Amino acid sequence: MSNITEQYVSVAKYCDEIYAEDSTVFDTYSFLCRIVHKDQTLVLEEVKRKLEILCKKIDVSKRVYDYYTSDGKPLSNAKPIVSQMEITLCFLLLDLTKSKKDVMYLNSACKLLDNSLGTGTKYPQAYYEIASKKLETLCNTLI
Amino acid sequence: MQYLDLTLFVDHRPGFSAIAYLETMKANGVLPKKIICLAFTRARRVQQLSYVFGQSIAHRIFDQYLKRQQKKMFKFLSEIEYDIQQSVGYHIQFLKKINLKEYTQTVETIYLDSYKDKNFLNYIQEEECKTFLYASSGIVPADLLNIHGIKIIHIHPGIVPEVKGSDGLFYSYLLKGKLGYSVFYMNSGIDTGDIILQKEWEFPKLYFRKYYNDTHLYKAILAFIDSYYRAQILLILLQKNTQNLEALSCIKQDMQEGKTYFTMHPKLRSCIVRRMVQI
């Protein structure tokens, strides 16, 4: 797990350098990195609302893009987030499921994991196995 | 038999909830004045097939595909139906072929591309009866909902605003251990319309004589149990109000409250279905 956290940090640093804050554009990388770094400026309600939007994206379009417009559509040149970030988001959703006891996050985590495995990603298999085990445990305890 | 100022929207092949509504209404001496049968001509798969085979062959292929799918589904549903019927204690025959003319004064079939089809919208605009009960499928766009004077009643398997969105029956069971149903006038949001009536039921104890896989049980619960309880809440509504269905007293939903859930992942679905049934 520590390995994953280190990778979070490396991605976060990389994102901070290249993605400037823009209030009209939702930057998925930057948002996720701020959560991972426990950014104190984040407002809980705002995080909740934005995570719900990301869950909706996973559920409806089966994909999360790097940039969205203020009305929730991917920017014209947006790309699906890299597998490293996908697994980061998956772990985040699983942690939230555990702490908030909210099945909405668990449902999206299940779908995200399916998508990631289905796209033949090159991200280390071990992380998917950890995520799958966590997911299995949560399914058994919550349901 | 009393004919109500109510028009039912049903699919070309009426779904289980439509059958439940009609059978329950008929058994209780009330029926809608009209049924509008919606025949969508451009299902996405037909469109895709049309690019390769042309439209007429595409329609034929699609029809055969639907028949095959339906046959497969009916096979396992007919096996499960008896067990559910015995467990819940209802008498609706969901799998029999129904003749819509036996349930109303007028049946009208409309061919449309989508709910946004101009001819369809014009037709609805000129309809005498302005109150509709939605027993079809798909998202109803604002174009239809905004037609002046019309009201569309929808029955949703969940107590709104707590449980909005897909798979409401399963989320209700998971969150509250009960079945919850809401009747509301549709608006352009997802299950955000003004609430007319809500009711909760204990989930019935289900006993099965043999093992069925989770997917089959999921489909059977949706087909029979969900449809049965939708019809039950409709019956409660109609027993209280047979007049003025377009102006029933209702309360506004708090848009900030509750959550919209999405289709449940098969893994979660399996866990819940296993909890619901006792084999």
- Which residues of A are less than 8 Å from B272 in CB distance? 143
For residue B2, how far is the Cα from the chain centroid? 23
- Tell me the mean pLDDT in the region B120-141: 90
% chain B with pLDDT above 90: 52
CB contact under 8 A, A103 and B271: no
For residue B279, how far is the Cα from the chain centroid? 28
Rg (C-alpha) for chain A, rounded Å, is 14
| Inter-chain Cβ pairs, chain A and chain B, closer than 8 A | 36
Q: Compare all CA atoms of chain A with the CA of B166 and give the residue at the minimum distance.
A: A59
Closest CA–CA distance from residue A126 to any residue of chain B (Å) = 21
Q: Which amino acid is at A78?
A: A
- Which residues of A are less than 8 Å from B259 in CB distance? 52, 104
Of the two residues B73 and A14, the one the predictor is more confident about is B73
Classify B131 in phi/psi space as left (phi over 0), alpha (psi -120 to 50) or beta: beta
Question: Could you list the residue range(s) of the whole structural domain that residue A45 is in?
Answer: 3-142
Pairing of strands A25-27, A67-69: antiparallel
pLDDT tens for each residue of B238-256: 998 877 887 889 999 988 7
- Whole-number mean pLDDT of chain B? 89
pLDDT tens for each residue of B145-190: 999 999 999 999 999 999 999 999 999 999 999 999 999 999 988 8
Residue A31's pLDDT is what? 86
Tell me the CB-side half-sphere exposure of residue B50, using CA atoms within 13 A. Answer: 10
| Confidence band of A129 (pLDDT split at 50, 70, 90) | confident
Residue A120's pLDDT is what? 56
- Tell me the mean pLDDT in the region B91-115: 90
Domain count, chain A: 1
Q: Compare all CA atoms of chain B with the CA of A55 and give the residue at the minimum distance.
A: B262
CB contact under 8 A, A139 and B175: no
Q: Which of B174, B260, B263 sits opposite A103 (nearest CB)?
A: B174
The DSSP bridge partners found for residue B37 are B10, B109
Six-digit token pair at B55? 């439209």
CB contact under 8 A, B262 and A143: no
Six-digit token pair at B231? 């019809």
Reduced to 3 states (helix: H, G, I; strand: E, B; else coil), residue A41 is: coil
Q: Which of A111, A140, A143 sits opposite B272 (nearest CB)?
A: A143
CB contact under 8 A, B268 and A139: yes
What is d(CA B134, CA B18) in angstroms, rounded to the nearest whole number? 9
pLDDT tens for each residue of B10-57: 988 889 999 999 999 999 999 999 999 988 876 667 777 878 888 778
Residue B43's pLDDT is what? 66
Residue A14's pLDDT is what? 47
Residue B73's pLDDT is what? 82
Closest CA–CA distance from residue A103 to any residue of chain B (Å) = 9
Six-digit token pair at A137? 């445990």
Rg (C-alpha) for chain B, rounded Å, is 19
CB contact under 8 A, B263 and A59: yes
Is the pLDDT at A11 greater than 60? The verdict is no
Closest CA–CA distance from residue A72 to any residue of chain B (Å) = 16
% chain A with pLDDT above 90: 1
- Tell me the mean pLDDT in the region A11-18: 47
Query: Buried (b) or exposed (e) across A44-61, using 16+ Cβ within 10 A?
Result: eeeeeebbeebbbbbbee
B174 interfacial to chain A (CB closer than 8 Å): yes
What is d(CA A25, CA B183) in angstroms, rounded to the nearest whole number? 38
Of the two residues A116 and B36, the one the predictor is more confident about is B36
Contact assessment for residue B132 and residue B151, using Cβ atoms and an 8 Å cutoff: yes
Residue A2's pLDDT is what? 47
pLDDT tens for each residue of A49-58: 888 888 988 8
Tell me the CB-side half-sphere exposure of residue B225, using CA atoms within 13 A. Answer: 30
CB contact under 8 A, A103 and B268: yes
Q: Is B123 exposed, middle or buried (0-12, 13-18, 19+ CB in 10 A)?
A: middle
